[in-house]
Structure 1
Amino acid sequence: MLTVGDRLPSFELQAVTRLDAPSPDQAFETLSDQSYAGKWLVLFAWPKDFTFVCPTEIAAFGKLNEEFADRDAQILGFSTDSEFVHRAWRMHQEELRDLPFPMLADLKRELASALGILHKQEGVCLRATFIVDPEGIIRHVSVYDLSVGRNVQEVLRTLDALQTDELCPCNWQKGQDTLQAA
């Protein structure tokens, strides 16, 4: 699995970017690792669409999207489902209809494989989160078991801490003092 200090692998994937498109094919867009050049990326993966834990996490990222945007960060979510499955799920699942960030389709498992986050038995993405700085360097990685949802507030707190470029103590929150090396 890629870790802190590694470069985000190059990717080019289809994504669901809008549900209000005049035709279904206009709901999709090709996005790459360069689509948001110069921004922080919060890239998170979930195991499967139309499941139980996944929509709770995705909706939580959606609710905090403006908080991430205020920090010059772009959220990108993905699984190994197709863009058509993503679109159908968003249309079917109330809390995902107005999702403000793209859902990437890693159907060939290229990104998940490059990141090293495929579950060995199930062949689906683990619940992984990567925070990538504007230079494309991974600065944070967290991975959860298939049955446990992540804490999106903690992802935001971690982004805040990374953006200080200073020493942040345990449980540090934005606006608090950072540590000074003696």
Structure 2
Amino acid sequence: MSLINTEVKPFKATAYHNGKFVPVSNENLLGKWSVFVFYPADFTFVCPTELGDLADHYAEFKKLGVEIYGISTDTHFAHKAWHDTSDTISKVQYPLVGDPTAALARNFEVLIEEEGLAYRGTFVINPEGKIKIIEVHDNGIGRDATELLRKVKAAQYVAAHPGEVCPAKWTEGAETLKPSLDLVGKI
């Protein structure tokens, strides 16, 4: 069964955010768009390139009313140490959530049980707390913040314009489609 359109299960965790340890729960997601970005572990190789790319685009996500949450099975203490020692991770201004019990990774079905690490899972969550986009990569394949931005804009557009859908490679301002019998076989 897919997690698409399911509500995020209740959770409580601790994040490192803006120099502090802060509580994070499913309640934080309500009323705004959120992106969960699971990654395998702090102090690794592909992970800082992804989190740094998201940091470089964070202001664009914020303009869309989107909060990003970076999540690994490390503790919030490890997140702080990584933030304090890595030039790339020091740019991160969004919460880095600790998931040492792997409860979140299990809930989002990205846990690699035998390793205690998460796959590279990306989840876009609407203001009602429902998962609208899922993308999961093998851990050797990094993600692109620009493509994620495009997908978030598409999800927001579809939510704001019932009856319209965004075709492949849709970008903000481009034409959308209104599914109807008249379009069948004509695209």
TM-score (norm 1): 0.92
Preserved contact between residue 14 and residue 98 of structure 2 (Cα < 8 Å): yes
Partner in structure 1 of residue 8 of structure 2: 8
Partner in structure 2 of residue 77 of structure 1: 70
Unaligned stretches of 5+ in structure 1?
A: 20-26
Correspondent of 1:42 among 25, 35, 47: 35
Partner in structure 1 of residue 161 of structure 2: none
Preserved contact between residue 2 and residue 116 of structure 1 (Cα < 8 Å): no
Residue 180 of structure 1: how far off its partner (Å): 2.5
Preserved contact between residue 42 and residue 79 of structure 2 (Cα < 8 Å): yes
SS of aligned partner of 2:177: coil
Partner in structure 2 of residue 119 of structure 1: 112
2 CA distance for matches of 1:4 and 1:114? Answer: 13
Unaligned stretches of 5+ in structure 2?
A: 159-163, 183-187
SS of aligned partner of 1:35: helix
Partner in structure 2 of residue 59 of structure 1: 52
User: What is the number of equivalent residue pairs in this alignment?
Assistant: 175
User: What is the RMSD of the two structures over their aligned residues, measured on CA atoms?
Assistant: 1.3
Q: Which has the larger radius of gyration?
A: 2
1:132-165 CA-to-partner distances (Å, cap 9, x unmatched) read 0000110000000011101211111111111111
Q: Which runs of 4+ in 1 moved over 4 A?
A: none
2 CA distance for matches of 1:31 and 1:175? Answer: 34
Partner in structure 2 of residue 158 of structure 1: 151
TM-score (norm 2): 0.89
Question: Superposed, which structure 2 residues align to 1:118-157 within 5 Å?
Answer: 118-157=111-150
The percent identity for this pair of structures is 34
Correspondent of 1:176 among 166, 174, 177: 174
